[in-house]
Structure 1
Amino acid sequence: MNYRHSFHAGNSADVVKHSLLISLVRALQQKPGALTLIDTHAGCGLYDLGGDEAQRTGEARQGVLQAFADPNPLLDDYRAAVQAVNAASEPLLYPGSPQFLTQLLRQQDFLILNEKHPEDADTLRGVMRGTGAAVHQRDAYELWLAMVPPRTARGVVVVDPPYEQTDERARITATLSAAHRKWAHGVTVIWYPLKDSATHQRWKAQLRKLGIPKFLVVEHWLYDSEQPGIYNGAGLFIVNPPYTFMQTLPPLLEGLRAALAPEGHKGEIVCDWLGD
């Protein structure tokens, strides 16, 4: 599946991913110790919702625009982060994960961004100029393994690939296994699309064999039954989610489900441990 992000910026998957990312980092920041935030597939950092690529799919209408129209206060932090890069009340620009992460930084925290695509990396450097973020242009999986454990005691790795390569899942599995051996208490967030159920179930079985104890699965299904051959939603694997994050998760997930349900569908967000 080709998931070049400029075509999908601000869609329902972004709303869920970025809402949970805000909640996760803020839960970790309840302790004063420094965090290192690492984004392995950072993309451009900022996307034009009126641009040709975003307009071609129109996915923001069922994502960020629905979230902005929903009154649930649990989505206020997400909406505020999007609004921070927009002058108008309705979002015309969508922040990528690097922008969400830089808004969350405290003085003691560090942000490491990586984007292998040359044009996107150049754009990212321009978008992030003046933020203090370190921007790399390396193979994402090589960087992931090289950067852990970080210099700070705690940190988060965000892995958000386009799934353009047939071996993407295998590389994630192998790198996660090696990274976990180096940094067993580190927090890792891995995004994935939900399209081919059989492929996804095989991948989860492979990940289960890694034996990682605290391995959370959050899956957002847009439709009330699986629609073969099309995009059905997206999920996050979260390794070592903090306790305070888990406490706030159920009402946030319910708010997201309700806000993003397509017309005629209730949708579903499933949250469970991989080993269960």
Structure 2
Amino acid sequence: MNYRHSFHAGNSADVVKHGLLIALVRALQIKQAALTLIDTHAGCGLYDLGSDEAQRTGEATQGVLRAFADASPLLDDYRAMVRAVNADGETRLYPGSPRILAQLLRPQDALILNEKHPEDIHALRGAMRGTAAAVHQRDAYEFWLAMVPPRTPRGVVVVDPPYEQTDERARITATLAAAQRKWAHGVTVIWYPLKDRQTHVVWKDKLRKLGIPKLLCVEHWLYDSDQPGIYNGAGLFIVNPPYAFTEALLPLLEALRAALAPEGHRGAIGAEWVA
């Protein structure tokens, strides 16, 4: 499927992805040691929710706007990140992962971004102007392997492709296997859309066969039963999540489920170890 960020900015998948990413980085930052944050498919960095692309899908109404209408304090960190890019108090802009990661940086941390698409890289450089981010334009999978292990003691790699290519999952699997050989203790976050359940089951089995000792799978299903041929939700594979993150995860997942459930559906979100 084609999942260009600009068409889906601020949707339910973004709320889950960014809510969990914020919690993950915060958990890692309990320790003072420096972190390198690496984004392999950075996109534009900042999105106009009034753009033709965003308006064509209207998905932000079922995502970030629902999160803002919800009262759970567990979503406060996420809402603060979105407010930080909207000076007038209205939710007109949506921060992609690069702008969220930039807000999380401490003085000792580093942020390295990559985007290959020629239009998106131009937008990304503009969106990250004035931040400490280093921006690259390279093949995402070559970049991923080149960046690990990072120079700092710890790091996080975020892999968030548009799934335009039929071999995207195969490339992720092969690159993750190679990255694990270079950097077995590193934290990696892989986002994916949930459309065809069987495709996901097959991919999860292939990742299981890599034998990664700590591989967490978080899945968010929007509807109470599969809706054939449409987007049903999204998930994250997280390699080596820190203990502080997993211990606090279940209440956050429930808050996200409750905030994002479509009308007439309870939805489901859960986490399991892939072993």
Q: Which runs of 5+ in 1 are unaligned?
A: none
User: How many Å separate the matches in 2 of 1:87 and 1:29?
Assistant: 27
Alignment of 1:1-276 (within 5 A): 1-275=1-275
1:118-176 per-position Cα deviation (integer Å, ceiling 9, x unaligned) = 11101111111121110000000000000000001100000000000000000000000
Counterpart Cα distance in 2 of 1:165 and 1:44? 19
Number of residue pairs the alignment of both structures matches:
275
Deviation of 1:90 (Å) = 2.8
Describe the superposition over 1:33-82 as per-residue Cα deviations: whole angstroms up to 9, x where unpaired.
Answer: 00000000000000000110000000000000000000101000000000
Q: Where do 5+ consecutive residues of structure 2 fail to align?
A: none
Q: Which amino acid aligns with 1:170?
A: A
Q: Percent identity?
A: 81
User: For 1:236-262, what per-residue CA distance to the aligned partner results, in whole angstroms no more than 9, with x for missing partners?
Assistant: 000000000011101000000000000
Match of 2:225, as an amino acid? Answer: S
Which 4+ runs in 1 deviate beyond 6 A?
none
Distance (whole Å) between structure 2 residues aligned to residue 204 and residue 251 of structure 1: 24
Alignment partners' CA distance in 1, 2:217 and 2:39: 19
TM score, norm. by length of structure 1:
0.99
Q: What is the Cα-based RMSD across aligned positions, in Å? A: 0.6
Q: Give the TM-score normalised by the residue count of structure 2.
A: 0.99
CA distance in 2, matches of 1:61, 1:35: 34
Provide the rounded CA distance (Å) in 2 between the counterparts of 1:262 and 1:234: 14
Per-residue CA deviation, residues 201-252 of structure 1 (Å, 9 max, x unaligned), is: 1111111100001000000000011111110000000000000001110100
SS at match of 1:189: strand
Which residue type is aligned with residue 99 of structure 2?
A: Q
In structure 2, the residue corresponding to 1:150 is in which secondary structure?
Answer: coil
Q: Secondary structure at the match of 1:102?
A: helix
> How far is 1:21 from its partner?
0.4
